[in-house]
Chains A and B, each alone.
Chain A
C-alpha cells in the first residue's frame, strides 16, 4: 500500500506506485457492487459533498453510489441549487461548506484549476471530478482499470486517443496516466482540435484517424461538442463524422483484439457509429461499472480507511 495524499487534483504528479495502489484497491472493492446487499460500513460517519458546478449525470451518480456503498453520507450541490447563482464566489461557497465539516469535497467545475483553488483555501480532501479542459483524473483511473482488466497489462500497449483533444480533460488525464504506466499514446483528430505543443507530452500526433486505428491496441474516442462548430473548429457534424468518426470501414483496419472506449455521453453517429459503439470490441459499459469501483477506492484511500485493513 502506497498512498498518502490528502487531495486528488489530477493524474499529474501521481506515481506509478500510487496508481497501482488505486487500481488494486478498486479491483478488490469492485465485488461489493455485485453483492446482494451492496454496502459495507467502511466509511460510516464520513461526509462526502458532491459539488457539481457543471452539469453531469454519470460522474456525479457514480460518486454518489460509490460513497453510499461505503456507507458515507452524501450531499449533492449543483450550480443552480447553490448560492453561486446568487453571486457567491467559489471560495466563499467552499468555506461555508467547510464550516459544516465534510471530509471530502468532490468538485466538478467548468474552469481549469478550480479544485486547486479550493485545496489552497479549505481543509477537506478535494477530489477533482473534472476541471475545465484541464484534468479528469477519476475518468483516467477508471479507463486504466478497464484496460488492465481487458488487456491484462498497461505497460507497452499502444493507445490511440481520437477526437477533440484540445478541449478534453479526459484526454489530458489519460495521456498523463498512460505515460506514467508505460503505455505509448497517439492522438488523432482534426488539427484544429489538437492542442499546440502536444508533443511536449511525449505523444504521437496524426490527423488521419485510420493511421491511429490501425496502430492501436486500445482506442479511446472522445465526445465532440456541438458548440465547437461555432468556434471555427470544424465545418459540420456531417463532415466530422465522415472523416474523423469511427465507423465499421475504419475498424476493418484495426487489430483483431482492439478494445474501444468512450468516456460518454456518446454522440451516436457523430464520433462513433452505432455499429461500433455496440460492437464486440466496445467496453464502454465496463468503463461505467469500473467508475464506481475506482471512486470507492479513492474515497477509501483519501479518507485513510485504516490502511492496514486493506492490505493484500
Chain B
C-alpha cells in the first residue's frame, strides 16, 4: 500500500520541521517528505492513495510514556486490545505500559505475554516497562538483563514506590549494565499515608486525610541525589507540585540526566475538583492547588518538563462507586491527553510544536526508541493527523477504553486526532470516508 499524505502542516521537532509538506509512504515506511507545492514530475501519483491533510497537522505518532494497560490480571478494567484501541483513538501510536499487573511484569514471561497480545491487537506499539523490584515489593531486584532481552524499555516502581534508598541506589547502578532508564514514582509513603487527596484547604474542609507536597518532593530530591551518584538516566513520573518543578529545574541546571513528565490532570484541574467527594478526582499524586498548576504549566513552557503522559489508569465502577477513602486512585487519559494538551496551545501557554514535542520527541528520547518520535525517510510510518480546531464534547460513553473513569466528561475541548497510522496501516480514522483502510 502506498500513501500520500497531502499538504498537511508537518511538525517534527526532532528535525526542527514545521512546514506544509507531502509525505509519501510505502510498505510501512516513509519514502519521502516534499515541501508543498511539490516539484513537478517527482512522483507518479497514480498508484498512491491520497489522504488530503490540507488544514490539518501531521506529526510523528504520539508516544505515551506512562500507561496502565491492566493486562494480565485486571482484564475487567482494561485489556491490551482495548487499551491500545483507546491509544490509537487518542492519537497514540505507541505506549509504554507499567509493570503493576498481576502477575507483575518482573520476568520475561510476562513481558513476552504483553508483547504477544500487543502484536495480536495490531493497533498501537506497546513498550513494556519492567519492575524495579521482584513483585514490586520486598528487597530483591528484578532480573533486568532478562527483562531487557525480552523487550522492556525502562524500569519503574510505579504503583509501589521504593522506600529503601540503598535498594534504589543499587537498582540505578545495576540498570546501567543494560542501558535501562529508571522511571521513578516519587512518594514518601511514610508521609503520604493515609492520605487520599492533597493536603490543603480543601482536605481540611472535607475532613479527608491529606498528602502533603513534601511527600513527593522529598523522594524527588532523594532520587536526584542518587542520580548524581550513579549517573543513571532518571525520569520522574507524573510530577504535581511547584516544588517538584523547581527541584527538577535545578537538577537539569547541574547537567544531571534527569527528565520529568506531568499528566494532563495536573495542568488542568485543582484539588477543588474533589469537593462533593467525587472519586473521579482521586488520583496519585493528588490534584494540587492553583499555584502548583501554574508552576506545572510554567515548567512545561520553559522545558523543565519535557513529557506529557496520560497516566491512563483504568478503574471500574467497583473501584470508584464507593466511599472516597475506599476508592481506587487514577483516571483514564489516553483519549483526552492530546485535546487537553492542545488546550494549553489554545490558551497561549505552549506553541503547537512545543506541545507535540512533549508527546513525541520527549518520550522517544527518554525511552531510546530509535526511529520513533520523528518523521524521516526510511523511518517507520508511525504518524498522527490532528485537527487542531475541531471542537467536541468529551463523552465517557463514546470512550473505547473499557473503563470510563474520567473527570473530564462533559468538557468542551478543541483539537483531536483524526487519523492514526502505525507502520503504514491506518489504525484509527475519523476523516472523510475517501480514506480507506
Contact = CB atoms under 8 A, between A and B. Distances in A.
A196 B204 contact: yes
A113 B277 contact: yes
Contacts of A116: 276-277
B324 A111 contact: yes
A90 B322 contact: yes
B207 A196 contact: no
Interface in A134-172: 134-135, 169, 172
Contacts of A111: 323-326
Contacts of B203: 195, 197
B73 interface: no
Most buried by B among A132, A135, A172: A132
Contacts of A89: 321-322
B204 A198 contact: yes
**Max count, chain A CB within 10 A of own CB: residue among B201, B207, B326:** B207
A109 interface: yes
Contact of A113 (B200, B204, B321, B323): B323
B379 to A, nearest CB: 50
Contacts of B206: 112-113, 134
Interface in B297-349: 321-326
A91 interface: yes
B208 interface: yes
B73 to A, nearest CB: 21
B205 A113 contact: no
Given A112-B277, A197-B200, A197-B201, A117 B322 contact: yes
Contact of B207 (A90, A121, A133, A197): A133
Contacts of B205: 12, 172, 200-201
A272 interface: no
B258 to A, nearest CB: 29
Contacts of A195: 203-204
B215 to A, nearest CB: 13
Contacts of B201: 197, 200
Interface residues of A, number: 25
Nearest to B209: A133
Binding site secondary structure of chain B:
loop
A172 B208 CA distance: 12
B278 to A, nearest CB: 9
A114 interface: yes
Given A89-B322, A90-B323, A197-B200, A117 B207 contact: no
A124 B226 CA distance: 56
Contacts of B208: 112-113, 132-134
B244 to A, nearest CB: 19
Main secondary structure of the interface of A (DSSP, over half): mixed
Interface in A11-64: 12
B323 A114 contact: yes
B52 to A, nearest CB: 47
Contacts of B200: 196-197
Contacts of A114: 323
A22 to B, nearest CB: 22
Contact of B321 (A91, A133, A197, A201): A91
Contacts of B322: 89-91, 117
B286 interface: no
A173 to B, nearest CB: 10
A168 to B, nearest CB: 9
A169 B204 contact: no
**Which of A111, A113, A133, A172: most chain B CB closer than 10 A?**
A113
Interface string A2-16: 000000000010000
Contacts of A200: 201, 204-205
Contacts of B324: 111-113, 117
Interface string B166-202: 0000000000000000000000000000000001110
Contacts of A109: 323
B210 interface: yes
Contacts of A121: 321
A195 B197 CA distance: 14
Contacts of B210: 196
Contacts of A133: 207-209
A256 B199 CA distance: 39
Interface in A210-227: none
A110 B209 CA distance: 13
Nearest to A172: B207
A57 B321 CA distance: 29
Contacts of B204: 195-198, 200-201
B325 A132 contact: yes
Nearest to A197: B201
A131 to B, nearest CB: 8
B276 to A, nearest CB: 6
A206 B2 CA distance: 75
Nearest to B200: A197
Nearest to A166: B204
A131 B206 CA distance: 10
Contacts of A112: 206-208, 277, 323-325
A85 B325 CA distance: 18
Nearest to B199: A196
Contacts of A90: 322-323
A235 to B, nearest CB: 19
A103 B325 CA distance: 27
A111 B277 CA distance: 11
B277 to A, nearest CB: 3
A195 B202 CA distance: 11
Interface in A86-134: 89-91, 109, 111-114, 116-117, 121, 131-134
Contacts of A134: 206-208
A229 B171 CA distance: 37
B318 to A, nearest CB: 8
Nearest to A109: B323
Nearest to A169: B207
Interface string B252-282: 0000000000000000000000001100000
Interface string A174-215: 000000000000000000000111101100000000000000
A9 B178 CA distance: 56
A109 B205 CA distance: 17
11 contacts: A91-B321, A91-B322, A112-B208, A112-B325, A134-B207, A195-B203, A195-B204, A196-B200, A197-B204, A198-B204, A200-B204
Interface of A: 12, 89-91, 109, 111-114, 116-117, 121, 131-135, 169, 172, 195-198, 200-201
Given A112-B208, A117-B322, 14 more contacts: A89-B321, A91-B322, A109-B323, A111-B323, A112-B206, A112-B324, A116-B276, A131-B207, A133-B208, A172-B205, A196-B200, A196-B210, A197-B199, A201-B204
Shortest Cβ-Cβ A-B pairs, 4 listed? A113-B277, A134-B207, A133-B207, A200-B201
